Structure 1
Amino acid sequence: MIMYPEDPYAGVDESDWLEVTRQLVDEYPLALPALREVVLDSWSRILTTKIGGELQIGDEYKPSPQMMGNFLHNMIPIVLERNHPSEWRKDDSRDEKDLIYLPDSRFDTEIKTSSSNRIFANRSYAQPSAPGSKDKSGYYLAINFEAFKHTRTPKITMIRLGWLSHRDWIPQTAATGQAAHLAPITYQTKFISAM
């Protein structure tokens, strides 16, 4: 396996970033079609869930996009862990990435979800990781979905896998801003679509 430096894009011309991303995604332990199936299976499980044994999600209860993202964020690692218990597990603490790959921590993955066509993170993602804290650089699974606003059965609209460092995140400029976003070039060159 290839050992990655702190940032595999360091010193690489921007015009070659997509090729670096392809190599990183090819090395990932789950092929994109398998990753897509896990995401869609997790989404389906959420949409067929009943709250309190009777409130059907999508009928009597339509969670906010933030809640649906949180459900998905938690369901994906659980589904993977159940299907591959010797390979994957859900994070156990705030110091870990969301999805842990037991054989090789290089493939531990952050999961970001959004009901828009972009993803966001806390402003702290735009800063280097402090010693002893979660490493913000590495693989990211980005999932976008429809909100319940116009449909009873919202769909997953995009699934992307990529590799980001803290340098890719752009913090809000407002002094009170707590979010970070990505530049358009990052979506184009540092993610590969699984759907």
Structure 2
Amino acid sequence: MSPYATASIDQWPDITNQLISDHPLHPAEILDIAQVCWESVWETQIGSGSTIINLIEISPPATVIGYFFEKLFAKELARRYPAEWRGGVTGNDKDLVCIADNQKSIEIKASGQLGLKIYGNRSYGQEAENAHLVKKDKSGYYITVNFYANVLTLVRFGWIDASDWQAQKAATGQMAGLNPNVYEYKLLPLKGRYALNAPIGLLSGIGPKLSGELQAIGIRRVIDLIQYDGEANKSLLKAQKIALTYEDLFAKEFTEAFDEPQPPPTLVADQ
């Protein structure tokens, strides 16, 4: 049974705090491993000799980047704690397997779209008609990772239930998304200055025209916008306020818990 099954939504932050507190991995270490592995992904080389290609030189699909990241994360975690953690091997395994207690195993989900939402394939939003078709439990601990190109924009840690995934209504839809309450109350943002490297296009209210104007004066990242102290018109000042709110939500002091119900990230444009 889900730990949230009989609880009202206003109780969810406390439940999430307890789940994170009970987990053997500290959120700060999860973020540290994520950042180490993200750097490692972009040091990857393909081929050998005169035909070698640096991953940074090409534009691999986001699914490829997410897969590399997942495998490197599992490898680094197992290197640090070889008797406690291993990567998934079978279809029944989560991506990160807790050897002592499988209930603490973790699934990793990554999204390379310009935004802060996470998606699973359509099967995540559908209940299997036959139990034997379900390879692994889709409920449990999750690490979610948002990135855009080679920039890590946000890492979260928390719990997602299988019922939280919502399949696209169209019969041809290939993705499943999450209920907004999941982002708000069940996934803890692992805050850090890394989040300020996100491209300005991730902020709502900054459309293509304003984005072009900002880039023309050297503002490409959220941190550039926050630190800009040159001549500013009304649109730029408004954009700076949006960036400062984003900083409060995702980059200011690292916290291990929801001190109070967090507002949904309405300032972020998911495309």
Normalised TM-score (structure 2): 0.64
The corresponding residue for 2:143 is 141
Q: Structure 2 unaligned segments of length 5 or more: list them.
A: 192-271
Q: Which has the larger radius of gyration?
A: 2
SS of residue matched to 1:118: coil
Deviation at 1:128, TM superposition (A): 4.7
Higher RCO by CA contacts (8 Å cutoff, separation 6 or greater): 1
Structure 1: distance between partners of 2:92 and 2:63: 22
The corresponding residue for 1:49 is 44
Deviation sequence 1:148-177 (CA, Å, 0-9, x none) = xxxxxx221111011111110111111122
SS of residue matched to 2:74: helix
Q: What is the root-mean-square deviation in Å for CA atoms of aligned residues?
A: 1.5
Structure 1: distance between partners of 2:154 and 2:14: 21
Deviation sequence 1:69-120 (CA, Å, 0-9, x none) = 1111221111111221101111111111111010111111110001131111
Structure 2: distance between partners of 1:133 and 1:115: 25
Deviation at 1:126, TM superposition (A): 2.6
Structure 2: distance between partners of 1:128 and 1:77: 28
Matched, 1:175 2:177: no
The corresponding residue for 1:3 is none
Matched, 1:104 2:101: yes
Q: Is contact 1:51–1:57 with CA below 8 Å preserved after alignment?
A: yes
Q: Structure 1 unaligned segments of length 5 or more: list them.
A: 1-5, 148-153
Structure 1: distance between partners of 2:80 and 2:53: 28
Q: Which of 89, 92, 96 is equivalent to 1:92?
A: 89
More strand by share: 1
Q: Is contact 1:145–1:158 with CA below 8 Å preserved after alignment?
A: yes
Deviation at 1:124, TM superposition (A): 2.0
Structure 2: distance between partners of 1:165 and 1:185: 12
SS of residue matched to 2:72: helix
How many residues are matched?
183
SS of residue matched to 1:20: helix
Q: 1:64/1:122 Cα in 2 relative to 1: closer, same or farther (>3 Å)?
A: closer
SS of residue matched to 1:58: helix
The corresponding residue for 1:58 is 56
Deviation at 1:63, TM superposition (A): 1.6
The percent of aligned pairs where both chains have the same amino acid is: 35
Matched AA of 2:76: V
Instruction: List 4+ stretches of structure 1 deviating above 4 A.
Output: none
Normalised TM-score (structure 1): 0.88
Q: Is contact 1:128–1:136 with CA below 8 Å preserved after alignment?
A: no
Alignment of 1:1-195 (within 5 A): 6-53=1-48, 54-59=52-57, 61-116=58-113, 117-128=116-127, 130-131=131-132, 133-147=135-149, 154-195=150-191
